Structure 1
Amino acid sequence: MGVYQPHTEDFKDKALGLVSTGSFPAIVSAADAMLKSSEVILVGYEKIGSGHCTAIVRGKISDVRLAVEVGAENAQQNGQLISSLVIARPLPNLEVVLPIGSRLAQLTYGRGSSKLSNQAIGLLETRGFPAMVGAADTMLKAAEVELSAHEIIGAGLCTAIIRGSVADVAVALEAGMHEAARIGELNAVMVIPRPLEDLEQTLPLASCWIEKPQPLAIPTKIVEKEKELELVELPDLKQIPVPLEEPLRLDE
Structure 2
Amino acid sequence: MEVYPKSPDRNYHQDSSLGLVSTISFPAIVGTADMMLKSAGVHLVGYEKIGSGHCTAIVRGGIADVRLAVESGERTAKQFNQFVSSLIIPRPDANLSIVLPIASRLYEIAGEEHSLLSNKAIGLVETKGFPAMVGAADAMLKAADIQLAAYEKIGASLCTAIIRGSVANVAVAVETGMYEAERIGELNAVMVIPRPLDELEQTLPLARCWIEELQPIQLPVNFNDKYVQGEGLTLPDLTTIPVKVKGESYET
Q: If the length of structure 1 is used for normalisation, what is the TM-score?
A: 0.77
Q: Percent identity?
A: 69
1:96 Cα deviation from its structure 2 partner:
0.9
Specify the alignment match of 2:203 in structure 1: 202
Match of 1:174 in 2: 175
> C-alpha distance in 1, partners of 2:124/2:26?
8
Any residues of structure 2 matched to 1:45-124 within 5 Å, and which? Answer: 45-104=47-106, 118-124=119-125
Instruction: Give the aligned length.
Output: 208
Larger radius of gyration: 1
The corresponding residue for 2:187 is: 186
Partner amino acid for 1:98? L
Distance 1:162 1:55, change over 3 A: same
| Runs of 5+ consecutive residues of structure 2 not aligned to the other structure | 113-117, 216-252
Cα distance in 2 for partners of 1:38, 1:104 equals: 17
Distance 1:105 1:17 in 2: 17
What's the counterpart of residue 15 of structure 1?
Answer: 17
Q: Secondary structure at the match of 1:154?
A: coil
Matched residue SS, 2:202: helix
RMSD of Structure 2 on Structure 1 (CA): 2.2
Aligned to 1:164: 165
How many angstroms apart in 1 are the aligned matches of 2:44 and 2:81? 22
Match of 1:31 in 2: 33
Question: For residues 109 and 92 of structure 1, do their structure 2 counterparts lie closer, same or farther at Cα, with a shift above 3 Å needed?
Answer: closer
**Whole-angstrom distance in 1 between the partners of 2:197 and 2:212:** 19
The amino acid of 1:4's aligned partner reads P
Q: Distance in 2 between matches of 1:184 and 1:26?
A: 20
Alpha carbons 1:43, 1:99 under 8 Å: kept: no
For the 8 Å contact 2:124–2:192, the answer to whether it is kept is yes
Q: Distance in 2 between matches of 1:130 and 1:106?
A: 37
Equivalent-residue separation in structure 2 for 1:71 and 1:124 (angstroms): 20
